[in-house]
Structure 1
């Protein structure tokens, strides 16, 4: 894996670490976030198999796959390559940092915040 392909993941990981260091511990609800300071969100995969990628586009490296009905943890959303008329992608935090097309992930609870 080249440095260029790892950069989005490294930036996202650094953002998470910085946010965690700057955010005081608060009580979490069932979706893993505080009502005033959302951090993590949940979603359910709707595609039979969803390729999760190193960047928010279908040409980037596949990091892993998720399957229909799988519950995923979402850190944030961003714009990327349009998939099925939906330009949003979610940065997932389930064991590895990977991007999934929002077209194939339904939110459980509130919509994820925008990546900064």
Structure 2
């Protein structure tokens, strides 16, 4: 076996370190900042999924919109704003999530961890 040079060992270490940093950035979770569509960025609010069966993410604030994904019970999501939509069990408030896909979810399945998000 041939001995490796110090630069080869350092290069391998740097590559491993960079891979770990990138993996951490990709799996860090929902973004907690968003663009309001007019170029202004604002912080999203954190909330936790409390629906035991999980959360169905939809393309709009109604069950008439197609399902485009889901989140499991206990997942923390970022809320950009809230809007009135289809009333589910007497609650018409839906949240627009800030996970870059801008999907909607019924407020009855999410517990907001702070103050209420602004209206869209």
The bucket for the TM-score relative to the shorter chain is 0.5 to 0.7
The DSSP-based 3-state class of the residue aligned with 2:38 is helix
2:93 is equivalent to residue 88 of structure 1: yes
For 1:68 and 1:84, the matched residues in 2 are separated by: 19
**Higher CA-based Rg:** 2
- What is the aligned counterpart of 1:17 among 26, 30, 37? 37
The number of residue pairs the alignment matches comes to 86
Unpaired stretches in structure 2, ≥5 consecutive residues: 1-33
Residue 67 of structure 1: how far off its partner (Å): 1.1
Please name the residue that 2:50 is paired with: 46
The DSSP-based 3-state class of the residue aligned with 1:18 is coil
User: How high is the TM-score relative to the length of structure 1?
Assistant: 0.67
Unpaired stretches in structure 1, ≥5 consecutive residues: 1-12, 24-37
